[in-house]
Structure 1
Amino acid sequence: MGAATTIVQQAYEAFGRGDVPAMLNLVADEVDWEFVGSANLPYAGRRRNKKEVADFFAAIPRTDDIHAFEPREFIEADEHVTVLGWENSTALDTGKKFESEWVHVFTVKNGKVTRWRGFFNTAARYGM
């Protein structure tokens, strides 16, 4: 396990504790952060700085109630870390429970996350 994976694991540990400030300490001041999904999802879209990333994290609990969130596999290639995981959540707008595997792709430079992409099966969230 390399330095990039260590930073990413620290980010998941902070997220698991609900410690957004600790998470943001691992994010570069200028970042390319995007959850790829429907514009209907408040946490979808691109963010460019820590304040916008904080807004991303604030939108999640207003949108989905996460019951289980499990990063399961970390794949490191130099400064890039791909994480495969799974979640069980409830969509707050519909009350529908859903499960989805997800993929997060990080780039870590100088001990900070400089790029992040998130993907999950948004069709499962909407019951499609």
Structure 2
Amino acid sequence: MNTEQNKQLVLEGYRKFQSGDIAGLLERFRDDAVWTSPDSEFIPFAGHFHGKQGIAQFFAKLNANVQATSFSVKELIAEGDKVVAIGDSSWHGHLTGRDYDLPWVHVFTLRDGMVERVDAYYDTAPPTAALQALRSAEADRPDLRQ
């Protein structure tokens, strides 16, 4: 695929995410894909997720804990098998009711027209502050960390 096709694949994935079509989004990932983000004991959807099932678990944890109130891709940069997406988002924590803003960068590695790897970069302080009550609530809601 050329760089323009790679950018379109990534944009289509974001559209699927924004419409809640996680199954459709996962169709764009290789079976052995990897999703990484900064580790944090306070963010249930942080860390490393392997394979489509692991990435589905990431989205399940994300949706169980927060809801995007805005999510926008500001810029896409593509070269070879890499697409870098730069964006802004705002989130609402379900458990705490707290909102936070979060700029982000996603680096996609593509192979044979599918996503092989996503490296997500963001400041963990805003979601940690918004979700800090999570630890005390885990006893009541074990599904938040599983």
Normalising by the residue count of structure 1, what TM-score does the alignment of the two structures yield? 0.92
CA shift, 1:90, in A, is: 1.6
Where do residues 1-128 of structure 1 align in structure 2 (5 Å cutoff)?
Answer: 2-127=4-129
Q: Determine what percentage of the aligned residue pairs are the same residue.
A: 27
Q: Measure, in 1, the Cα distance between the counterparts of 2:8 and 2:39.
A: 27
Which amino acid is the alignment partner of residue 33 of structure 1?
W
Taking only aligned residues, the RMSD between alpha carbons, in angstroms, comes to 1.5
Larger Rg: 2
**In the alignment, is the contact (CA less than 8 A) between 1:96 and 1:125 conserved in 2?**
no
Task: From the superposition, tell whether residues 125 and 62 of structure 1 become closer, same or farther in structure 2 (CA, over 3 Å).
Answer: same
Uncovered stretches (5+) of structure 2, i.e. residues with no partner = 131-146
CA shift, 1:105, in A, is: 0.6
Structure with the bigger percentage of strand = 1
Count matched residues: 128
Structure with the bigger percentage of helix = 2
CA shift, 1:99, in A, is: 0.6
Q: Measure, in 2, the Cα distance between the counterparts of 1:19 and 1:100.
A: 22
**In the alignment, is the contact (CA less than 8 A) between 2:84 and 2:108 conserved in 1?**
yes
- Report runs of 4+ in structure 1 exceeding 3 Å deviation: none
Q: Measure, in 2, the Cα distance between the counterparts of 1:23 and 1:127.
A: 29
CA shift, 1:121, in A, is: 2.0
Uncovered stretches (5+) of structure 1, i.e. residues with no partner = none
